[in-house]
Amino acid sequence: MHLSLASFFTRKRIIIITLFSLFIGGGIFLFSYAMTHKTEFAANSFNLFQKVSKLLPIAPDTKKEIEVVNKLIEAITKQDDQTHTFLILLQNSDELRPGGGFLGQYAIIKTKNGEVTSTLVEDANLLDQRISADVPTPYPFARKIQLKKWKFRDSNFSPDFPTNAEKAQYFYRLAGGREAFDGVIAVNSPTFNNILALTGPIQIAGDSNIYTSTDGAQKLEDRVERAYLGEDVPAELKQARKLIMKKIAAEIMKRSVTVPNIPKLAEFAQTELRNKDVMLFFKDPTLQSLVESVHWDGSVSKDWNNDYLMLVDANMGALKTDFYIKRSLEYTADFAGEKPTGTIVYTYQNTAPYGNWRTSDYHTYLRAYVPKGSIFLTRFMINAVTTKEAFNKTYFGGFVDVEIGQSDVHTTLTYELPNTITAENYHLLIQKQSGVGTIPVTVHLKTKDGKTYDQTTELKKDLNFSIQTVEEKK
């Protein structure tokens, strides 16, 4: 049975749906525009969605996701005279962190009876200036860049979004914040480029730049950041730079919210949630269970009992170089020897140009999460490797350096797998780090009898491999 959008969109929901769509369609840029035009935009959006919902069928495999969104919107727009408060984390994936990207800005939005009642957008550094507590930084920050105090802007140091959501709230409270949040939403910067793929290139009067899906976010950062880095730049001039963002947001709204684009917008939203460029966390256990059921919570799997792999980078002071970093993964599970082993070859290529103010040689702290009980054996091109446990996993962490122009940094880790991992009807879960683009993946499985099984694919979202090595009995 196909669902239609007619059963999904109602008048009371449309402003929340609109606001949610704005966040997943470009973060702070579209958010700024929506807050100043929300009444007009909500009305126009409702009329448009009402027309399209009568025509657009929804594929069966999205039924569960639509049901989840339906229940989330029902809860958020409930007519109960209660205020709902949400913390929005705006993350720049060009400076990759384990939870998606450098946390440069945040927003607080309040709703009541399905209406937006107040908003606040602030630079994360301003919040951090209000934190006086001395919270020790995670080990990699302290060792690599001698950062002594852990604060809000670095709170997303876990690959597990529920952990980061709690940590962000913790630092918010340390800064004197008094809001009790009903939910936390993280949005990564690639959403801006991705929505430009839908709208097409954008150029604004008075600005020579053409913003495209290839490097729109990067050009915008150059436009509104580079010329305003100095301490001697007047505050009013810094504030005026935001006008270009509002103009771009207005043009995106004009182009994207049209009848032909509605199916594309739906697909876009689905993709952003599936690839973890948007992640959701709710205080209410029922709502949190809903987002977990469709894997929109950005969590590290804690109950997977087969072979497992998650690779997590943390940019250590390498500016915005992640935009130019290309990665590929080759993983071998070898059961042919006396003891089973896993070998990870994670290859980096630094394509950054020389002399660019945004980039440098790449310095990262890499963690490889593997089945609990795995034993480290050897390493190559990764330094100071330590072994620890988290999320019912073992992880190996170390520092990797990739100079500009290097294309063959084959970071390699080999480890002994626990005996609970076997080749018989082999299963492997590879989880994707939030904020990382598409990664080519090759998986090799070697069995006791000398057979080799190979699979090649791309890591765009979490991947579940199943390789049947034992014939089923008839």
Residue 289 sits in the same domain as residue 311: no
In what helix (H) or strand (E) does residue 252 lie, and over which residues does it extend?
helix 243-256
In a domain, residue 163? The reply is yes
Residues 119 and 225 in one domain: yes
- Residue 310 parent element (H or E): strand 307-315
- Say which residues have a Cβ less than 8 Å from residue 463's Cβ, sequence separation at least 6: 429, 430, 432, 441, 457
Place of tokens 């969109």: 9
- Residue 116, sorted as left (phi over 0), alpha (psi -120 to 50) or beta, turns out to be beta
Whole-angstrom distance, CA of residue 441 vs CA of residue 331: 8
On whether residue 472 sits in a domain, the answer given is no
Which span out of 208-222, 238-252, 445-459 was modeled with the highest average pLDDT?
Answer: 445-459
pTM: 0.86
> Is 474 among the domain residues?
no
Which of 249, 268, 293 corresponds to the end of one domain? 293
At residue 113, the pLDDT reads: 85
Domain co-membership, 330 together with 209: no
Is residue 24 classed exposed, middle or buried when 0-12, 13-18 and 19+ CB atoms within 10 A define those classes? buried
CA separation, residue 1 to residues 4, 161, 262 (Å): 10, 34, 21
- Are 174 and 25 part of one and the same domain? yes
pLDDT digits (tens, 9 = 90+) for 177-222: 999 999 999 999 888 888 888 889 999 888 888 999 988 888 887 7
Residue 257 has pLDDT above 90, yes or no: no
pLDDT of residue 40: 41
Considering the domain architecture, whether residues 208 and 241 belong to the same structural domain is answered as: yes
Question: For all residues of the chain together, what is the average pLDDT?
Answer: 84
For residues 289 and 394, membership in a common domain is answered with no
Name residue, tokens 């290839």.
Answer: 214
Q: How many domains does the chain have?
A: 2
Q: What is the mean pLDDT of residues 223-243?
A: 59
Same domain, 262 and 409: no
Judge if 124 and 258 occupy the same domain. yes
Task: Give backbone dihedrals phi and psi of 465, rounded to 5 degrees, phi first.
Answer: -95, 135
Do 247 and 208 reside in the same domain of the chain? Answer: yes
Q: What CATH number is attached to the domain comprising 433?
A: 2.60.40
Instruction: Look at residue 427 and tell me whether its pLDDT is greater than 90.
Output: yes
In a shared domain, residues 390 and 458: yes
Q: Could you tell me the pLDDT band of residue 411, with boundaries at 50, 70 and 90?
A: very high
What totals of helices (H) and strands (E) does the chain contain, helices first? Answer: 12, 19
- Whether 337 is in a domain gets the answer yes
300, part of any domain: no
pLDDT tens-digit readout, 32-63: 344 444 434 443 443 444 344 444 555 555 67
User: Does position 335 have pLDDT exceeding 90, yes or no?
Assistant: yes
Give the strand pairing for 383-390 and 375-380: unpaired
Structure tokens at 55: 């025509």
Helix, strand or coil, per DSSP, at residue 111 = strand
Residue 64: pLDDT above 60?
yes
Q: Are residues 50 and 164 in the same domain?
A: yes
Residue 179 maps to a domain = yes
What kind and span of H or E run contains 278? strand 278-282
Domain assignment of residue 61, given as a range: 3-293
Q: Are residues 86 and 171 in the same domain?
A: yes
Pull the structure tokens for residue 183. Answer: 């939910």
Quick one: residue 7, left, alpha or beta (phi over 0 = left, psi -120 to 50 = alpha)?
Answer: alpha
Q: What is the pLDDT of residues 266-277, one digit of tens each?
A: 778 888 999 999
